[in-house]
Amino acid sequence: MLEGIEHVALAVSDLDVAIRHHREVWGLEVARRERVEDQGIEEATLPLGAAALQLIAPTSPASTVARFLERRGEGLHHVAYEVADVRAALERLRALGVALVDEEPRRGGGGDLVAFVHPRGNHGLLVELVQRSGDPSA
Ligand code: CO
């Protein structure tokens, strides 16, 4: 069912500061930076091997990432698993009684189809399912 880890996402309070840190300390470069209005965040994607590190910062105080930072501070926010078919994956999880954040897939960064699985019932890990758009220009 899982094709691999697509990205690991870190919640940060200042995207520019975090990007600079990851360039200077880890030698990682930003391949894509975009606002995902749907999630109230701005994200920067830094390729790392076959996967990527994603830095996410809130663009509005109402965003779930803003609330996350208030409650827990900066740190690991979610791990994204790549799947071939996000709808089929949601169907399977629903059948298993796993709590979902998204009942239907939505558009994530880069035009990918994504859906979040609730950390409750998944040993505390927020998982994002990612079905890549396959569009290199997205
Ligand atoms: Co993500």
Q: Closest Cα partner for 18 from 41, 48, 44? A: 44
Active site residue 74: no
Which one of 6, 54, 82, 131 is the catalytic residue? 54
| Average pLDDT of the chain to the nearest whole number | 94
Reply yes or no on whether the pLDDT at 7 is more than 70: yes
Residue at token pair 């965003």: 63
Active site residue 118: no
- Burial tier of 91 (Cβ tally within 10 Å: 0-12, 13-18, 19+): exposed
What's the pTM?
Answer: 0.91
pLDDT at 32: 95
Going across the sheet that includes 41-48, the strands are 32-36, 41-48, 51-58, 4-11, 75-82, 127-131, 113-117, 106-107
Active site residue 7: yes
Helix (H) or strand (E) holding 110: none
pLDDT at 138: 46
Active site residue 6: no
